[in-house]
Structure 1
Amino acid sequence: MNATTRFAGIELGGTKAIAVIAEGNRIIDRRVIPTVAPGQTLPALRAQLDRWLAEAPFAALGIASFGPIQLDPAHPDFGHILATPKPGWTGATVAATLTDGLACPWRIDTDVNGAALAEYHWGAGGQCTSLCYVTIGTGLGGGVLINGRAVHGAMHPEIGHLRLRRTIGDTFSGSCSFHGDCIEGLVCGSALRDRFGMDPAYAADTHPVWRHVAADIAELCGTILLTTAAQRILFGGSVILSRPFLLPWVREMVVDRLGTYLPFLYTGSAEQILQLAGLGTEAGPLGAIALAQAALNAAGR
C-alpha cells in the first residue's frame, strides 16, 4: 500500500449516502446520494462504484453503514440492516448489493466504528488505546475502538439506545419508536424537533431545553467513561456541531457528576477527553476509506 493506492468507500447515512474514491487517505472524488428507499439508494451507489471501476481499479472497498446491521460473516443475514426505525430499511441487503461481483477485498462496519477508526489513524484519536466516537444528528450512534480495533461481539455497540438517568423536571417522553426516552430519543434531530415544538435550528441558544439536552449528553458521556474507560470521546454530527456552547456545558456537567470518583477526570482534563472530532465532517467518508484499508491489510496485499 502506498500514497497513490486507490480505495473506494461508501458512507451510508440515515439522510444521505456519500460515495468516495481516495488515493491513500486523500479523497479525490465523491458523490452524494439521498438515502431514500433501499431499492433506489443501494443500486445508485453500486452504479457509482462501477463507473469508478471502469476508469481505474481500486484496491479495496469499505462500507460504513448506519445500523443496526448484522456484522457476523457466518450469519445468513450478514450485511443486512436489522430492525430499524428508518422506514423500508429493515432487512436491506447492503453488503450484497454493493459487493457482489467485485474482485477486490471489502469490509463492512457501522458508520460510527468507521469514523472512530479514521479518527484513530488521522484525526483526534491518535495515541489513544481506547476511543469512542459519537455522532448526534439524524440519529445517535457510537463507535468504540480498543487498541485500534472496533468492538464487536454479539453485534456492535448500540450506544444510542441506552436509557439513562433523566434530569429532574425534564418530562419529555422521548421520540424513539423502540425505547421512547433512550438517548437517541432525547437528543437526535427529530427528538429535538419534538422537544422544542419546532425546527431546533430556530431555537434560541438561551432556550432552557438546551440545558436538558446537555445534561442528557453528559449522562451518556459518564456512562461511556465508566463502562469503556475511553481515553477520549469525540463528537460529530449536526446537533453538536451547530451549537458550540453544548460541549463546554457537557464537560462541566460530567466533571460535576464524576470528577470526585474518576481520578483522571477534572476540569483541565475534560477538554482533552471530550472533544469535537478532529476530522470534522470528513470523519464519516474517511471512515469508509479506513475500512477499505483494513480490508486490504487483512487480505495481505
Structure 2
Amino acid sequence: MLYGAIEAGGTKWVCAVSDGDGRLLASEVVPTAKPEETIPAAVRFFLRHQRPAAIGVGSFGPIDLNPASPTYGYITTTPKPGWAYTDVVSPLRDALQVPIGFDTDVNAAALGEWRHGAGRGLDTIAYVTVGTGIGMGAIVGGRILHGLVHPEFGHTYIPHDADIDPFAGSCPYHGDCLEGLASGEAMRQRWGRPAEEVDDAWAWELEAEYLALAVTNLTYALSPQRVIIGGGVAKRESLIQNVRVRALELLAGYPEVPPLTDLDAMAQYLVGPSLDDLSGVLGAVELARDAVEGTL
C-alpha cells in the first residue's frame, strides 16, 4: 500500500510517496508561494504517480483540527501573508479522491521520530523545532497530543532579563515569548543577520539559555521520556550540548532521576532528531496511514 505525504512548511512543501515502511519512492519540493499556486502544484505531484491510499499533511499553523468545525482542515490565524484561513484539506481531497490525514508540522515530526527515529520504543516524547519559528509536537501515551487546539509551546513565556537582553522580541502577538526570543527570526532581528551567520559566542550562550529554560519547563509540565530538538537553528554545533549543561543546572536535581541529575543520562534524554530532515515527511506518511487505519 502506498501513502502520500506533504510536509507543508512556510517556505516549502515537501511532497512524497512512500511504501509505508519509511522508504520514500518519490519526492518533490514545491516552494510555498500563494495558496492558489502551491496546493495545485502538490496535487500535480500526486497525479504524476500511482494514487496513494491516503495522504498525510503536516502543516505550519495554527490549524483547525476539530472535525465538527466549519474551518476544519484550514490554516487559520497564521501571520504568513496570504495564508490566513486557507483550506488545505478540501482541495487535496476533492482533487485526489483519497482520505487526508491532517495535523501540525511539529506533531508530524514527533510522530515520525516516534515511529522511525529517536523516539522509537518510548511512550511519551516531545519534539521541539527551532527554526524560523518555534513549535512543539508530542506523543503522549502513544497518541498525538491534542486538546483545545494543538500545542503552541513556542508561545509560552520564559524569563527575560531586559538588562541582559534588551531585545523586545520578534513575535507579532506576544513580543518576548519563547519564539519571540529564541527563534531564527528572533536571532535575525536581534543580531541583524541570519542565525547561521551569527558567530558571536554571547549570542549562542543566550540562545542556549532560552532553550534550556524551555526544556526545563517542558520537562516539568509534560514529563516526556525524551526531548528531541530539531530545526535549522538547532543544527548549530555544540548548541544542544550547551542546552543540556544549562538545563541540568536549572533542574537543580529535582526530581532525583538520572536524566535530570547526570550529564551522561541527559545526553540520552535531550537529543537531536535521528531522521535529520525527514522527521516531518515520514511523520506525514504516518498521518496518511492513520487516515486509513485509525490507530492514532
Match of 2:41 among 22, 44, 68: 44
- The answer to whether structure 1 residue 259 and structure 2 residue 259 are counterparts is no
Superposed displacement of residue 173, structure 1: 0.8
Match of 1:137 among 109, 122, 131: 131
Residue of structure 2 in register with 1:150 after alignment? 144
- The answer to whether structure 1 residue 225 and structure 2 residue 219 are counterparts is yes
Superposed displacement of residue 201, structure 1: 2.2
CA distance in 2, matches of 1:34, 1:65: 14
- The answer to whether structure 1 residue 82 and structure 2 residue 76 are counterparts is yes
- AA partner of residue 276 (structure 1): G
TM-score, length-scaled by structure 2: 0.94
Residue of structure 2 in register with 1:71 after alignment? 65
Q: How many residues align?
A: 290
Q: Percent identity?
A: 39
Residue of structure 1 in register with 2:293 after alignment? 297
CA distance in 2, matches of 1:254, 1:60: 41
CA distance in 2, matches of 1:106, 1:87: 25
- Secondary structure of 2:255 counterpart: coil
CA distance in 1, matches of 2:99, 2:195: 42
Residue of structure 2 in register with 1:57 after alignment? 51
Superposed displacement of residue 187, structure 1: 1.9
Match of 1:22 among 18, 24, 36: 18
**Where does structure 1 differ by over 6 angstroms across 4 or more consecutive aligned residues?**
none
Match of 1:246 among 239, 248, 270: 239
Superposed displacement of residue 104, structure 1: 2.8
Note if contact 1:195-1:209 (Cα within 8 Å) is conserved in structure 2: no
> 5+ residue gaps in structure 2?
none
- AA partner of residue 284 (structure 1): G
- The answer to whether structure 1 residue 185 and structure 2 residue 205 are counterparts is no
Superposed displacement of residue 207, structure 1: 2.7
Which deviates more from structure 2 when the two are superposed, residues 148-157 or residues 259-268?
259-268
Match of 1:209 among 203, 213, 217: 203
> 5+ residue gaps in structure 1?
none
CA distance in 2, matches of 1:84, 1:180: 16
CA distance in 1, matches of 2:252, 2:47: 52
TM-score, length-scaled by structure 1: 0.93
Superposed displacement of residue 101, structure 1: 4.7
CA distance in 2, matches of 1:187, 1:38: 28
Match of 2:28 among 23, 27, 31: 31
CA distance in 1, matches of 2:82, 2:36: 9
Match of 1:272 among 245, 252, 268: 268
Note if contact 2:195-2:233 (Cα within 8 Å) is conserved in structure 1: no
CA distance in 2, matches of 1:207, 1:220: 20
The Cα offsets for residues 164-192 of structure 1, whole Å up to 9 and x where unpaired, read as 11256122111011111111111222211
Note if contact 1:116-1:144 (Cα within 8 Å) is conserved in structure 2: yes
CA distance in 2, matches of 1:192, 1:85: 18
The Cα offsets for residues 228-254 of structure 1, whole Å up to 9 and x where unpaired, read as 00111111111101x121111100111
RMSD after superposition:
1.4
The Cα offsets for residues 108-165 of structure 1, whole Å up to 9 and x where unpaired, read as 0001111111111110101211100111112111101112211111100001111111
Note if contact 1:15-1:138 (Cα within 8 Å) is conserved in structure 2: no
Residue of structure 2 in register with 1:194 after alignment? 189
- Secondary structure of 2:147 counterpart: coil
- AA partner of residue 3 (structure 2): F
Note if contact 1:14-1:139 (Cα within 8 Å) is conserved in structure 2: no
- Secondary structure of 2:98 counterpart: coil
Residue of structure 1 in register with 2:108 after alignment? 114
